[in-house]
């Protein structure tokens, strides 16, 4: 039972930390939750949606409670070794991450201020590496390789996502990746470093792909329904124009074909941070051991 005392205390703290987030988000200036070129006088202007206790805060409360519980339970070595900076690195980014997920779902916007908060919290990663060590790197590693690992994670992660966005836009003929996602990936790369980058990308794209499948199916069904409506209309040209006008007046945050990728990046990074110790152990005992046997 003693093994669960600290995780349960962590769960209570995580749930309590979720309560002020609704007020914090709801007092954000409107400009933080709108696109850079938004015009409040535009015909399709839509006021930013705000958090409500049900469902948003309740979901965040449960999620943070579970994540804080697992963080303490899966990283007992951080507690026994009194690795304070490692503990802070795992826990603190979960707070802005939770608001980022809500904001991207409600308004298709990742406020730069939240990305900056995530990047600021990465300072605990740099401190943890230099003062408490990095489990992925040998104790004999040169000191400068610790910050290089995190900086490379940020640069490579943001660069790859930016390149994927350009390629996706070229293939689809429309924007496929917002620059807010690229900035968020830079901050996430600072948190997870180059060693965690592969896991974050794998998790984000696999989970994002699973969510994209039903979205694609609904899109095809809607297109077929629209085509049928146009063909059966007494005035197909007028019917098509009416649909085009309706789509043009839809706010980008209400686009039914858009899937927010920011939540998957934050979830991938959060899972890596929370489960870093068991992931490292799995890598050492399974993947690395199997590779040695093969080669």
Digit-coded pLDDT (tens) for 226-259: 888 888 888 888 888 888 887 777 766 777 777 8
Q: Are 184 and 232 in contact (CB under 8 A)?
A: no
pTM of the model: 0.91
Beta-carbon count within 10 A of 114 CB: 26
Write the pLDDT tens digit of every residue in 52-110. 999 999 999 999 999 999 999 999 999 899 999 999 999 999 999 999 999 999 999 99
Give the Cα separation of 274 and 76 in Å (integer): 11
Q: pLDDT confidence of 37, banded at 50, 70, 90?
A: confident
pLDDT at 281: 92
Question: Backbone phi, then psi, for 262, in 5-degree steps?
Answer: -55, -45
Residue 162: is it exposed, middle or buried by C-beta count within 10 angstroms (0-12/13-18/19+)?
A: middle
Per-residue pLDDT tens for 265-290?
Answer: 999 999 999 999 999 999 888 888 77
> Could you tell me if residue 190 is left (phi over 0), alpha (psi between -120 and 50 degrees) or otherwise beta?
alpha
């Amino acid at each position: 039972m003693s093994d669960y005392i600290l995780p349960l205390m962590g769960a209570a703290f995580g749930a309590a930390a979720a309560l002020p987030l609704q007020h914090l988000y709801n007092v954000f200036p409107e400009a933080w939750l709108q696109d850079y070129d938004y015009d409040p006088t535009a015909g399709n202007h839509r006021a930013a949606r705000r958090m409500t206790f049900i469902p948003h805060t309740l979901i965040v409360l449960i999620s943070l409670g579970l994540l804080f519980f697992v963080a303490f339970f899966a990283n007992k070595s951080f507690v026994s070794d009194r690795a304070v900076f490692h503990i802070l690195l795992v826990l603190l980014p979960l707070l802005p991450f939770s608001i980022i997920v809500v904001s991207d779902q409600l308004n298709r916007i990742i406020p730069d201020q939240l990305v900056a908060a995530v990047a600021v919290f990465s300072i605990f990663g740099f401190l943890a590496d230099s003062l408490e060590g990095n489990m992925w790197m040998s104790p004999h590693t040169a000191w400068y390789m610790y910050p290089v690992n995190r900086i490379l994670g940020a640069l490579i992660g943001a660069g790859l996502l930016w390149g994927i966005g350009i390629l996706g836009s070229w293939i689809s003929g429309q924007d496929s990746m917002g620059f807010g996602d690229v900035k968020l990936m830079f901050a996430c790369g600072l948190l997870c470093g180059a060693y965690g980058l592969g896991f974050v990308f794998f998790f984000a794209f696999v989970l994002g792909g699973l969510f994209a499948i039903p979205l694609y199916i609904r899109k095809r069904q809607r297109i077929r329904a629209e085509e049928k409506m146009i063909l059966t209309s007494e005035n197909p040209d007028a019917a098509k124009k009416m649909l085009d006008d309706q789509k043009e007046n839809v706010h980008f945050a209400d686009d039914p074909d858009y899937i927010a990728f920011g939540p998957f990046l934050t979830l991938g990074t959060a899972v890596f941070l929370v489960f870093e110790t068991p992931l490292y152990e799995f890598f050492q005992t399974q993947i690395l051991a199997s590779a040695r046997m093969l080669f």
